A = this chain, B = another copy of it.
Amino acid sequence: MEITEIVKNFFESAQWVKEPVGLYEPIDYALQSGGKRLRPTLVLMAVKLFGENPEKYVREAAAMEVFHNFTLLHDDVMDNADIRRGRPTVCRKWNDNTAILSGDAMLIRAYQMFSGLANSQYKKAVELFSKIAIEVCEGQQYDSDFEHRQDVTEEEYFNMVRLKTGVLLAGSLKMGAMLAGADDEDAENLYEYGINVGIAFQIWDDYLDCYGDEKTFGKKPGGDIACGKRTYLLIQALKRGGVSQQLTLKQLIDNESILPDNKFEAVMGIYEQLGMSNVCQEAMDEFYNKAIGALKKIKKSDEEKMPFVEFAKKLMGRTY
């Protein structure tokens, strides 16, 4: 069976609801809402790469998706978000308290999904899981901290994105490698691949919010600019712009009295002057190449590694 099928089947047949339903129904709602389920797919791609049967580890792979959705439940409370995957967020459909408590239960359920592993593998997997989980919290904290700062450096941005996005993708790959008994060097290289793919993916996401097309992107561009998010484009523009461009940007980004459309137009004007589209493309190329470089070091055939090349391309909308 294809890996995406294995993951899909697991979530379609999983029973999340039991008493008290007020705690478990929101978990079911979140996990049945689809999404790309990238993280369990990455776990099982790694399991397969290192010669194990992906079906054997679907529960542990799914734990990464349950964890990811726990972060979404809490993030949506913190961001006061209305919509997630085209449906009301848990904090809207129910309320903030439900999203907090059901989120907590999801984090614990994710831990429980490793229970099928034998003692030694169990400890390795759960410790890796905890390390990933706490780093994602750290990334989220840095992201919140940045909201109040206009002097975020490129280095700080990359560190935040590594923690908030990269670590969970890379950690899912490492989890799969570990479960399948890969050697440490291969597991580390696959992790390195994941970190770089994750950073490139975040730059792509930042890019699309400015240059994306609503039809293919799925949401209207400009959200990040409207809420003053510290994106790769903003940080680069603040670094590369002349004094007057920097000043204008700083005055624009946290000014809530300017209409979103006007703010978008003004910021985009500066991004155009500074060629931010090319800057993003170059940065993505750089991280993509780093990712492929790490992948090449893994002691497996090009053919076996091909799905990871395709995954990286797909994730950043590459068609070449």
Q: Specify the chain B residue showing the minimal Cβ separation from A148.
A: B22
On whether the beta carbons of A22 and B134 are closer than 8 Å, the reply is no
Hey, what's the 0/1 contact readout for A127-138 against B, CB within 8 Å counting as 1? Answer: 100100110011
Cβ-defined contact, B112 with A134, below 8 A: yes
In the complex formed, the residue of B with least CB distance to A120 is B119
- Chain A, 77-123, CB within 8 A of any chain B CB: 77-78, 96-97, 100-101, 103-105, 107-109, 111-112, 115, 119-120, 122-123
Q: A22 — which chain B residues lie within 8 A by C-beta?
A: 141, 144-145
Q: For the complex, is A74 an interface residue (Cβ under 8 Å from B)?
A: yes
Instruction: Tell me if B145 and A20 are in contact (CB < 8 A).
Output: yes
- Tell me, yes or no, whether A175 is within 8 Å of chain B by CB: no
Contacts of A101 in B (CB 8 A): 74, 78, 137, 140-141, 144
A30 CB within 8 Å of chain B: no
The answer to whether A142 and B105 have CB atoms under 8 Å apart is no
Chain B residues, CB < 8 A from A279:
none
* Shortest Cβ gap from A22 to chain B (Å): 5
- Near B by CB (< 8 A), chain A positions 10-63 give 19-20, 22-23
Is A66 on the interface with B (CB-CB < 8 A)? no
**Is there an interface contact between B78 and A138, defined as CB atoms closer than 8 Å?**
no
B140 near A111 with CB under 8 A, answer no
Q: Is A126 an interface residue (CB 8 A)?
A: yes
When A101-B74, A141-B23 are in contact, do A108 and B123 touch as well, CB less than 8 Å?
A: no
Contacting A109 at CB < 8 Å: which of B97, B109, B134? B134
Please tell me which one of the listed residues B19, B123, B137 contacts residue A105 in the complex, with CB atoms under 8 A apart: B137
Closest Cβ–Cβ distance, residue A212 to chain B (whole Å): 28
**Distance, CA A178 to CA B199, complexed state (A):** 44
Contacts of A161-200 to chain B: CB distance below 8 A: none
Q: Residue on B with the closest CB to A134?
A: B108
Q: List 22 A-B contacts (CB under 8 A).
A: A19-B138, A20-B138, A20-B142, A20-B145, A23-B141, A74-B100, A77-B100, A78-B100, A78-B101, A100-B100, A101-B137, A101-B141, A104-B137, A108-B130, A111-B111, A111-B126, A111-B130, A115-B127, A119-B120, A122-B122, A122-B126, A123-B123
Top 3 nearest A-B pairs by Cβ distance?
A119-B119, A23-B141, A78-B97
